[in-house]
Amino acid sequence: MRFASQHIAILGAGRSGLGAARLARLHGAEVTIFDEGEKAKPVEDFNCVLGQAARDLVVKPGEFQQVIISPGLDEHWPLPKKFTDAGVPLVGETEFAFHLTDMPMAAITGTNGKSTCTELIAALFNGCGMKSLPCGNHGVSLSEVVASGVRYDVLALEISSFQLETIRDFRAKATLWLNFAPDHLDRYPNMEAYFAAKARVFENVTADDVAIVRAGESVSSGAAQRWTFSAYDEEAGYTYNAGSFYHLGEEIGSASGLKLRGKHNMENVLAALMTGRVFGLEYSKMLKAMESYEPPRHRCELVRTLHDREYINDSKATNLHALEACLRSQERPIVLIAGGKDKELDYRPLRAELNGQVRAMVLIGEIAEQLKQTFGDLLPCQCATDMAEAVRLATEVSQAGDAIILSPGTSSFDMYTGYAQRGDVFREAVYALN
């Protein structure tokens, strides 16, 4: 009963907060949950202070021995500051749970691709006979996992910059840095602050730990051994090229059995293979285990191969950055289906990304004509009235060996309820082909 006779405050009544509340009570603490949200509701049999009552809260010195903050809250916001100003030690939910378990972890961070890589690592371990679970910023919180009492051989822990803001001692045996790009500037004052928060993932690593870092990333990996990877021709210890994976130039396996597509996903596979090696697994067994992994729907999802044409659903590409990432990841010539709601975006920078690899475009939605004017001088462009026609036109202009990709580059609300419905309609149109 580590926290017997302690009164612990939990900030946030979401999944992370509730997990921390259960874990704290499991260890003997008296727990009170605080949430300023108007829609926050009382939780189970916990004492809760919600809405206006939380906003009006006055914290007295000595009233609480610890305050645990959920990652969605900034420690500098008014509610957390009421506790820290009263001298209450503040702990992040991930840090709190970290101190209550000795389960080995692989920690995955990066701006893009974290969830896919986290799922892939868990699938790899499970397929090789080691019990694993994707958790943290993805799925169940670390506190929920620890409170459950279930023992895992390795936890695949997705960890965000928000969670890293409040670590003190957290470290993992394998720490993955997938990439870094502009994001979350609604939370951070500038890019430097966002980078600094993410880079804390290496703050406490030791020489016994391994940092798995995408080649070309400027982050310091601290005292850990630094292993690098790339699928884009950068110099690295682990590489992917033309359907095969390599370590120091020696082939270690083929991608032929995997359901994942795109160089960005091949980098996820490399990172997962490296993580498995940290824990002593064999390449052949890991690749076999990953063959059963189904990629997330609507994210460079291979729908079907027909007449040597790959049909890929990337409907989740609702902005230009995601569309550009999709194009860069492909190895086949592309017929691109793009367009949707007019978000008043400037698509002209995309011209440089076409690079001759996109042989034709089929355009849909409100911005179809605008996109035709933007790209029509570079390559053949046609407009379609609906998805079925778009798929038919794309198939007609394609050649054997092409990838026909739905990667809209904008939202779907001019035609659909969301990107998922748009992707499902694309899938239906593809399966209707003969």
Q: Per mean pLDDT, which range of 160-174, 192-206, 311-325 is the poorest?
A: 311-325
pTM value is 0.80
User: How far does the chain reach from its first CA to its final CA, in angstroms?
Assistant: 65
| Mean pLDDT of the region 365-390 | 96
Token pair, residue 228, equals 């690098």
Task: Give residue 186's pLDDT.
Answer: 66
Q: pLDDT-based confidence at 366, cuts 50/70/90?
A: very high
Rounded average pLDDT over 29-41:
91
Task: Spell out the domains of the chain, with CATH numbers in brackets.
Answer: 7-96 (3.40.50.720), 102-290 (3.40.1190.10), 301-431 (3.90.190.20)
- pLDDT of 183 above 60: no
Residues 6 or more apart whose Cβ sits within 8 Å of residue 69 = 11, 12, 75, 80, 90, 91, 92, 93, 166
Is 349 or 131 the better-scoring residue by pLDDT? 131
Most confident of the ranges 166-175, 187-196, 352-361: 166-175
Neighbours of 388 (CB within 10 A): 16
Q: Where does the pLDDT of residue 297 fall: very low under 50, low under 70, confident under 90, or very high at 90 and above?
A: confident
Q: What is the pLDDT of residue 147?
A: 97
Residue type, 164: L
**Exposure pattern of 295-313 as b/e (b: 16+ CB <10 Å)?**
beebbbbbbeeeeebbbbb
What pLDDT is recorded for position 329?
A: 83
45: which residues sit within 8 A by CB, 6+ positions away? none
Q: Tell me the per-residue pLDDT of 227-274, one tens digit each, with 9 for 90 and over.
A: 999 999 889 999 999 999 999 999 999 999 998 878 888 999 999 999
Cα(372)–Cα(385) distance, integer angstroms: 14
Mean pLDDT of the region 199-208:
97
Contacts for 133 with CB less than 8 Å, ≥ 6 apart: 122, 139, 140, 145, 152, 155, 156
Strands 154-158 and 105-109: parallel
Pair 31, 90: CB distance under 8 Å:
no
Q: Are 147 and 19 in contact (CB under 8 A)?
A: yes
Alpha helix (H) residue ranges in 27-92:
52-55, 78-85
Across the beta sheet with 90-92, what order do the strands follow? 47-50, 30-35, 7-11, 66-69, 90-92
Q: Is the pLDDT of residue 189 over 90?
A: no
| Mean of per-residue pLDDT scores for the chain | 93
Ordered alpha helix ranges (H), 141-251: 142-148, 161-164, 191-199
